[in-house]
């Protein structure tokens, strides 16, 4: 699997244009990485600036709420200085107290009611007449008054008189004699608290939530009002559903428990928002300001995307330019040069590389190719002409040698006919056979299409026919059977092979079939393996004697010496063996199609004609 992947990758990046693109991409990677790091740091800085903005806006929103709460406290402190209010707190009804409360409530729309309750929890005076005499001793905010002696804000609830969502503010007060008595109660309209957030320059897409001590959303700048808990005396049917921008209940509870003051969450509308919480002065209420992250970070989102996408686009463009440029400027010209090289390989040296408007270096390379081809063509023409002249000269030499050898053969023939001595006549006849073999080789060489080699089978067939005719084998009842593999042999090996065959046949005819004996001579030429050849000439004649070791006994005469010399000249070795048919076999093993070394002709040494 890994090998296949590696092969695919190497194959993909094998073209030059792909490697140029890869090199350029590797060169640009540090720049892209550096730009991505800058983009990340810029994004983090923008995120931090966004959080700073959200924190500051949360403080701005809490300031308006704190101002209202502080104003309420001061108002209640001022009302507590009134004698009528003190008397009502001590349980003494006073019409002046109710008129005062009604007058103040009418001038301050943020309050739904202003009232005074005595120590038993009964309303003694109120801006709303029907509230006078009501018993509020079981209300949670009244119960909480017993635990504190300062200004406090009660729980989120609904007004008993107007059914408005309010939050109660309490300030314990004393009676006329200065002893602790009841308390002044103010009902702050929650929609009024929410509207304050948009009256102090907060962003249009920002939202402010007012939370109570339990994390319940009491109101928001969008005039969203959550329902109070049933424990506050509000029936469940009065509850309303939350808005899409409101964080989860768990997050709101964590703010009330002071486990979290800042967080990022996605609302039901699918927008991500930054939220920051601020505790109001009394400590029991919280302001939560939220703002879409895109707005908090302004254009930094788009800047970050631009910082990331821009370098990647530039990298892709650079790679595309490298691929296209490498194709147009380099690869196309190189392919044209390769096509020209293929044409040169087909001996089409007049082919011209079409590199078009490639780079100057490619054009210079193409011109150098063309000039090289022109010089090679010119040199080849000269060499071919010189070779033709040498071939013609060599053919002429072989022709003249053949003619001269024929003249020598005629001289030997005339000399043998005029010689009275039978032994001398036999020697001259053997010499004539050898000379005629040489003449035959030279005839084949100058008649051959290639003077550097000659076909062994054709030459050997001609030698056997010539030997059969010269020795009169047909009339003597001796037949030569031949089996040859057609294979060319070098011209330098043709002469020793021809003379070796001539000597072997002459020895077989002379010593194997004396006194009119008849039979058959087998001559084979095989190639058992590439580059090696075996020449075997065997007869079914008399054959040699053998010693106790099975080795043939023969006199080392000129015939054996010549065959051994010709075998060494071929780079091989000769052995004399017993033939399967009962006669003798000359076996020569030698390398085929190799250079033949010039050996000193041992036949020039005097000696008697040997017998196999």
Residue length, the chain?
612
Distance CA 293, CA 54 (A): 10
Give 221's pLDDT tier (boundaries 50, 70, 90): low
- Asked whether residue 233 falls in the same domain as residue 280, the answer is yes
Per the structure block, which two tokens stand in for 224?
A: 């969203």
Point out the domain boundary residue: 451, 480, 497. 451
Yes or no: say if 443 and 467 are a contact pair by the CB < 8 Å rule.
Answer: no
Q: What is the domain extent for residue 281?
A: 193-296
Beta bridge partners of 576: 586
In a domain, 177, yes or no: yes
Q: What is the pLDDT of residue 16?
A: 65
Whether the pLDDT of residue 190 is over 70: the answer is: yes
Count of beta carbons in the 10 Å neighbourhood of residue 292: 19
pLDDT digits (tens, 9 = 90+) for 173-185: 877 766 677 889 8
Q: What is the pLDDT of residue 73?
A: 86
Beta bridge partners of 259: none
In a domain, 86, yes or no: yes
Q: Look up the pTM and report it.
A: 0.45
The residue among 528, 50, 499, 117 whose CA lies nearest residue 275 is 50
Comparing 375 with 23, the larger pLDDT belongs to 375
Distance CA 2, CA 244 (A): 52
Whether the pLDDT of residue 462 is over 80: the answer is: yes
The residue among 553, 542, 536 whose CA lies nearest residue 519 is 542
Please state, in angstroms and as integers, the Cα–Cα distance from residue 337 to each residue in 21, 358, 360, 378, 524, following that order.
Answer: 22, 11, 14, 20, 52
- Asked whether residue 247 falls in the same domain as residue 165, the answer is no
- Chain centroid to Cα 361, Å, comes to 31
Task: Give the rounded percent of residues in the chain with a pLDDT score beyond 70.
Answer: 78
Beta bridge partners of 519: 478
- Asked whether residue 586 falls in the same domain as residue 572, the answer is yes
- Asked whether residue 578 falls in the same domain as residue 514, the answer is yes
Count of beta carbons in the 10 Å neighbourhood of residue 95: 9
- Range of 112-126, 290-304, 339-353 with top mean pLDDT: 112-126
Yes or no: say if 576 and 533 are a contact pair by the CB < 8 Å rule.
Answer: no
The residue among 283, 267, 284, 265 whose CA lies nearest residue 275 is 265
- Show the beta-strand stretches assigned E in 55-179: 111-117, 123-126, 152-158, 165-174
Task: Give the rounded percent of residues in the chain with a pLDDT score beyond 90.
Answer: 3
pLDDT digits (tens, 9 = 90+) for 21-57: 777 777 777 877 877 787 778 778 877 888 888 888 8
Whether the pLDDT of residue 233 is over 50: the answer is: no
- Which residues are CB-neighbours of 45 under 8 A, at least 6 positions away? none
In a domain, 342, yes or no: no
- Asked whether residue 552 falls in the same domain as residue 406, the answer is no
Structural element, H or E, at residue 467: helix 456-471
Average pLDDT rounded to a whole number, residues 142-159: 71
- Asked whether residue 466 falls in the same domain as residue 562, the answer is yes
Mean pLDDT score of the chain, rounded to an integer? 76
Comparing 547 with 86, the larger pLDDT belongs to 86
Give 610's pLDDT tier (boundaries 50, 70, 90): very low
Average pLDDT rounded to a whole number, residues 326-354: 75
Whether the pLDDT of residue 219 is over 90: the answer is: no
3-state secondary structure of 112: strand
- Asked whether residue 207 falls in the same domain as residue 219, the answer is yes
Q: What is the pLDDT of residue 537?
A: 92
- Which residues are CB-neighbours of 6 under 8 A, at least 6 positions away? none
Distance CA 442, CA 401 (A): 7
CATH number at residue 271: 3.30.450.20
3-state secondary structure 10-44: HHHCCCHHHHHHHHHHHHHHHHHHHHHHHHHHHHH
Q: How many angstroms separate the most distant Cα atoms in the chain?
A: 189
- Which residues are CB-neighbours of 135 under 8 A, at least 6 positions away? 121, 122, 123
Average pLDDT rounded to a whole number, residues 201-214: 77
3-state secondary structure of 117: strand
If phi over 0 gives left and psi between -120 and 50 gives alpha, with beta otherwise, what is residue 201? left
Residue with tokens 């590199």: 355
In a domain, 16, yes or no: no
């Amino acid at each position: 699997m890994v090998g296949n992947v590696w092969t695919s990758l190497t194959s993909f990046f094998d073209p030059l244009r792909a490697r140029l693109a890869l090199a350029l991409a590797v060169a640009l990677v540090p720049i892209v990485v550096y730009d991505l790091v800058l983009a990340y740091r810029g994004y983090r800085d923008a995120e931090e600036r966004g959080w700073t903005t959200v924190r500051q806006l949360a403080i701005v929103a809490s300031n308006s709420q704190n101002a209202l709460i502080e104003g309420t406290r001061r108002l209640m402190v001022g009302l507590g200085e009134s004698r009528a209010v003190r008397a009502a707190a001590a349980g003494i009804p006073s019409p002046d107290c109710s008129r005062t409360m009604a007058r103040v409530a009418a001038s301050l729309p943020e309050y739904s009611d202003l009232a005074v309750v005595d120590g038993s929890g009964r309303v003694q005076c109120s801006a709303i007449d029907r509230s006078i005499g009501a018993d509020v001793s079981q209300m949670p905010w009244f119960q909480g008054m017993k635990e504190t002696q300062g200004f406090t804000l009660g729980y989120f609830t609904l007004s008993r008189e107007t059914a408005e969502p309010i939050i109660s503010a309490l300030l314990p007060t004393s009676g006329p004699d200065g002893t602790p008595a009841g308390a002044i109660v103010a009902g702050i309209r929650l929609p009024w608290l929410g509207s304050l957030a948009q009256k102090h320059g907060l962003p249009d897409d920002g939202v402010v939530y007012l939370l109570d001590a339990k994390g319940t959303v009491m109101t928001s700048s969008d005039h969203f009002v959550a329902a109070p808990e049933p424990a506050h005396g509000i029936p469940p049917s009065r509850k309303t559903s939350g808005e899409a921008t409101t964080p989860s209940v768990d997050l709101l509870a964590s703010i009330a428990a002071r486990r979290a003051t800042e967080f990022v969450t996605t609302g039901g509308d699918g927008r991500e928002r930054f939220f920051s919480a601020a505790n109001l002065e009394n400590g029991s209420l919280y302001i939560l300001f939220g703002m879409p992250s895109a707005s908090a970070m302004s254009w930094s989102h788009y800047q970050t995307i631009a910082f990331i996408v821009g370098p990647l686009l530039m990298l892709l463009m650079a790679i595309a330019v490298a691929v296209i440029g490498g194709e147009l400027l380099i690869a196309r010209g190189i392919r044209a040069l390769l096509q020209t090289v293929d044409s040169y390989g087909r001996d089409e040296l007049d082919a011209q590389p079409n590199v078009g408007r490639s780079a100057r270096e490619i054009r210079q390379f193409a011109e150098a190719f063309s000039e090289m081809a022109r010089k090679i063509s010119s040199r080849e023409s000269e060499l071919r002409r010189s070779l033709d002249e040498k071939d013609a000269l060599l053919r002429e030499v072989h022709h003249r040698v053949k003619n001269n050898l024929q003249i020598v053969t005629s001289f030997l023939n005339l000399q043998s006919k005029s010689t009275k001595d039978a032994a001398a006549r036999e020697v001259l006849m053997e010499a004539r056979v050898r000379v005629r073999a040489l003449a035959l080789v030279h005839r084949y060489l100058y008649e051959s299409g290639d003077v550097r080699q000659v076909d062994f089978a054709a030459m050997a067939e001609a030698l056997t026919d010539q030997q059969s005719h010269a020795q009169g084998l047909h009339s003597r009842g001796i037949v030569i059977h031949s089996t040859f593999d057609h294979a060319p042999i070098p011209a330098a090996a043709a002469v020793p092979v021809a003379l070796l065959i001539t000597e072997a046949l002459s020895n077989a005819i002379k010593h194997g079939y004396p006194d009119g004996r008849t039979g058959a001579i087998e001559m084979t030429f095989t190639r058992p393996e590439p580059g090696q050849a075996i020449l075997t000439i065997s007869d079914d004649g008399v054959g040699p004697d053998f010693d106790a070791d099975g080795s043939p006994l023969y006199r080392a005469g000129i015939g054996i010496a010549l065959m051994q010399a010709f075998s060494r000249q071929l780079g091989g070795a000769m052995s004399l063996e017993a033939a399967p048919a009962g006669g003798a076999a000359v076996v020569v093993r030698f390398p085929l199609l190799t250079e033949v070394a010039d050996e000193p002709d041992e036949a020039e040494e005097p000696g008697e004609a040997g017998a196999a």
